[in-house]
């Protein structure tokens, strides 16, 4: 029987669609691909997630690389505006509230930079989590099995009692390979179906403590 559900943050609990962001800004597939490689898909972005460089250093290096390819304007626009896409996914939060009410323990495991996790920790939904790990604070990133092992050890979670939800297939597969049930998040409806197939019930047990109602977010 499942007792624990671990959520990725970006792309599951908080919207994160960098390709859509770039498409809206540039309307040119070639430019979108090149700017993606210089920003979201760059080594600097990965190092931000692992917490080995600062945001300021990463921005400087990305702009230096952009200048060499004639994309300074576009990369600067991404640096200035990309955090505007990090809206709370209210439907996921509503599901989290129901899961909490039903007695499940909720955790997060996310590839995320320090400045972003610091901001997300201030959002109203964050107290729903019983704990979690941000990649930047342990200098490990998914799909590295070590970060999953660290998560399970830190909170004493049993592998066969745990579900992991991520919007990236390789990460969900990494969890599955370790004996954790992995759900690939594709949207709220398919997520609900997947939980149902796992036997997760969200009807509240009257003997359990009620969870807070889904909070109202100002970030959309």
pLDDT tens digits, one per residue of 105-141: 999 999 999 999 999 999 999 999 999 999 999 999 9
* pLDDT surpasses 60 at 20: yes
- Torsion sign over Cα 118, 119, 120, 123: positive
Could you tell me the pTM of the whole model?
0.89
pLDDT averaged over every residue in the chain? 92
Cβ atoms of residues 166 and 175 within 8 Å:
yes
d(CA 18, CA 39) in angstroms, rounded, equals 10
Gyration radius from the chain CA atoms: 18
3-state secondary structure 10-37: ECCCECCCHHHHHHHHHCCHHHHHHHHH
Q: Which residue has the tokens 């919007």?
A: 167
CATH of the domain at 167: 3.40.50.1000
- The answer to the question of residue 204 being in a domain is no
- Residue span of the structural domain in which 34 resides: 18-85
**Are 75 and 108 in a shared domain?**
no
Distance set, CA 117 to CA 43, 60, 72, 170 (Å): 19, 21, 27, 22
Provide mean pLDDT across the span 176-200: 95
**Are 156 and 98 in a shared domain?**
yes
- The answer to the question of residue 207 being in a domain is no
d(CA 85, CA 215) in angstroms, rounded, equals 19
- The answer to the question of residue 35 being in a domain is yes
**Are 98 and 190 in a shared domain?**
yes
* pLDDT, tens only, 73-97: 999 999 999 999 999 999 999 999 9
- The answer to the question of residue 220 being in a domain is no
**Are 108 and 95 in a shared domain?**
yes
Domain tally for the chain? 2
* pLDDT surpasses 60 at 104: yes
* pLDDT, tens only, 22-65: 998 888 888 999 999 999 999 999 999 999 999 999 999 999 99
**Are 75 and 103 in a shared domain?**
no
Please, which pLDDT band fits residue 208 given cuts at 50, 70 and 90? Answer: very low
**Are 77 and 104 in a shared domain?**
no
């Amino acid at each position: 029987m499942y007792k624990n559900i671990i959520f990725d943050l970006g792309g599951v609990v908080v919207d994160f669609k960098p390709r859509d962001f770039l498409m809206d800004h540039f309307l040119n597939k070639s430019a979108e691909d090149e700017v993606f490689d210089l920003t979201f898909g760059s080594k600097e972005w990965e190092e931000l997630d692992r917490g080995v460089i600062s945001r300021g250093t990463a921005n400087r290096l990305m702009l230096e690389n952009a200048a060499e390819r004639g994309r300074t304007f576009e990369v600067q626009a991404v640096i200035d505006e990309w955090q505007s896409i990090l809206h709370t996914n209210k439907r996921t939060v509503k599901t989290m509230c129901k899961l909490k009410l039903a007695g499940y323990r909720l955790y997060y495991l996310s590839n995320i930079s320090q400045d972003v996790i610091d901001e997300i920790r201030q959002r109203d939904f964050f107290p729903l989590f019983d704990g979690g790990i941000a990649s930047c604070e342990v200098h490990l990133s998914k799909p590295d099995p070590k970060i999953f092992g660290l998560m399970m050890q830190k909170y004493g979670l049993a592998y066969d009692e745990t579900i992991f939800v991520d919007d990236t297939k390789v990460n969900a597969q990494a969890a599955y390979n370790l004996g954790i049930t992995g759900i690939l998040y594709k949207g709220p409806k398919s997520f609900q179906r997947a939980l149902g197939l796992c036997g997760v019930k969200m009807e509240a047990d009257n003997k359990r403590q009620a969870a807070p109602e889904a909070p109202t977010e100002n970030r959309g």
